Amino acid sequence: MAEAIFKRLCLIGIGLIGSSIALRARRDRLAETIVVQTRRKETLEKAKARNLGDVYTDSVAEAVKDADCVILCIPVGAFSQVGERMGPHLAKEAIVSDVGSVKRSVIDQLRPHLPDHVHLVPGHPIAGTEYSGPEAGFTTLFDERWCLLTPDAGADADAIQRLTAFWKALGSYVDVMEPDHHDRVLAVVSHIPHLIAYNIVGTASDLEEITQSEVIKFSASGFRDFTRIAASDPVMWRDVFLHNKDAVLEMLGRFSEDLSALQRAIRWGDGDLLFDHFTKTRAIRRGIIEAGQETDAPNFGRYTIED
Ligand code: NAP
């Protein structure tokens, strides 16, 4: 059997992402010992019930002790507080990483609390669902999905290489990206789509002339796919928008201008503009399917909200 990549892997936070890492790492013996930390007793009990780790604790200081890899799997608004608690207890040469959806902010929050003898290699798996908590994780979440690592220019090459090997063993493709660039890319491909979904679901539910039962009854017309995204965890997404403010506001400006152009085309009956625009976007979807990042099965191959 291949040697484990890490001796002692510490997961701070054991929700959807943390539990998915734990399940895969356990199945494929990627770490000799898995330490699970979470702040609430009930979450820790759920993690134990799913047998996600070897050691369980609610103490950050205790959890990180002697770990050669620590991965923070908590909302991006909590990094500074948790970083302060773990900093003094980190082992020499430990790799400190995370799965946060925003990268510049988590680096800025963590850096002041980390001793010089550890290696910070931030990460972001581009994989997820709208479900949360330790019950939501599954072993194949990261299969054929990208994981982006955003180390500093001077980061330790061996630490990057070990973390890359780990994410590949979890099933991911791995790429390295500059953190600010990551935040701008993700603003467009993830953060703004979520904001649009949250917005349209809110708008539909506020419209007085359309009843709630009509919204639900006729949802298969397109609305339903927005409701899936808009069911995502409110704490996680609140923190994403507060911590990727500049990139989101910049991209939202571009989005509003493009939306105005479509609005004008509808008002003036410019069918050619609408047709050309919709033809271009259809090609983008085909590209996503060809890249293996989506299926063309009916209903996108997903279970439905009712299931
Ligand atoms: P989750 O299922 O909601 O789990 C969150 C975990 O963080 C729980 O263990 C929770 O502990 C802990 N936590 C929550 N607030 C905390 C705080 N203020 N201080 C310390 N711990 C706290 O979340 P998730 O979906 O796994 O997301 C975790 C991270 O992954 C986030 O940074 C998110 O941006 C990123 N991410 C998520 C997705 C996705 O689709 N969900 C995809 C890629 C990346 P208790 O339950 O004990 O309170």
pLDDT, tens digit (0-9, with 9 covering 90-100), for 50-86: 999 999 999 999 999 999 999 999 999 999 999 999 9
CA angle 169, 44, 137 (to 5 degrees): 35
Q: Mean per-residue pLDDT for 209-231?
A: 87
Strand partners, 175: 148
Q: Which residue has the higher pLDDT, 289 or 93?
A: 93
Residue 181 in this model has a pLDDT that exceeds 80: yes
Shared domain check, 170 and 71: yes
The verdict on 195 and 143 lying in the same domain is no
For residue range 94-116, list pLDDT tens digits in order. Answer: 999 999 999 999 999 999 999 99
| Statement to judge: residues 150 and 208 lie in one domain | no
Residue 274: inside a domain, yes or no?
no
The pTM assigned to this predicted structure is 0.94
Number of domains in the chain: 2
163 and 121 Cβ atoms separated by less than 8 Å: yes
Query: What domain range is 170 assigned to?
Result: 6-177
55: nearest Cα among 18, 10, 13:
10
CA distance 106 to 279: 38
Q: What confidence tens digit (pLDDT) does each residue in 235-259 have?
A: 999 999 999 999 999 999 999 999 9
Quote the CA–CA distance of 268 and 137 in Å, as a whole number.
49
**Secondary structure percentages of the chain, helix, strand, coil, to 5:** 55, 10, 35
Q: Ligand 1 test: best mutation among 38, 149, 185, most atoms within 8 Å of CB? A: 38
Give the three-class secondary structure for 137: coil
Inside any domain, residue 306: no
Note whether 61 and 198 are same-domain residues: no
The span from the CA of 220 to the CA of 207, in Å, is 18
Q: 122 and 36: one domain?
A: yes
The residue out of 153, 177, 201 marking a domain boundary is 177
> Is the CB of 171 inside a 6 Å radius of any atom of ligand 1?
no
Among 148, 177, 206, the domain boundary falls at 177
Do residues 226 and 197 lie in contact, with contact meaning Cβ atoms separated by under 8 Å?
yes
Residues 160, 258 share a domain: no
Residue nearest to atom 4 of ligand 1 (CA): 15
| 10 and 159 co-located in one domain | yes
Q: State which of 177, 207, 228 marks the end of a domain.
A: 177
The CATH code of the domain that includes 86 is: 3.40.50.720
Query: Which residues are within 8 A (CB) of 174 and not within 5 positions of it... i.e. 6 or more apart?
Result: 146, 147, 148, 149, 164, 167, 168
Tell me, what's the pLDDT at 296? 73
Inside any domain, residue 286 = no
- Whether 207 maps to a domain, the answer reads yes
101/124 Cα distance (integer angstroms): 6
- Quick check: CB of 123 below 6 Å from ligand 1? no
CA of 249 to the centre of ligand 1 (A): 24
Angle, vertex CA 304, rays to CA 300 and CA 306, nearest 5: 170
CATH of the domain at 259: 1.10.3660.10
Same domain, 11 and 122: yes
Same-domain pairing of 262 and 150: no
Looking at the fold, whether 105 and 60 belong to one and the same domain comes out as: yes
The verdict on 203 and 86 lying in the same domain is no
**Do 160 and 185 fall within a single domain?**
no
For a mutational test of ligand 1's pocket, the pick from 12, 20, 39, 182, i.e. the residue with the most ligand atoms closer than 8 A to its C-beta, is 39
- Distance of alpha carbon 1 from alpha carbon 263, whole angstroms: 60
Testing ligand 1's pocket by substitution, the residue of 45, 73, 228 carrying the most ligand atoms inside 8 A of its CB is 73
- Rounded mean pLDDT, 32-52: 98
Q: Which pair of tokens denotes residue 104?
A: 């510049």
Q: Among the listed ranges 37-41, 205-209, 268-272, which one has the minimum average pLDDT value?
A: 205-209
Q: pLDDT tens, 114-132?
A: 999 999 999 999 999 999 9
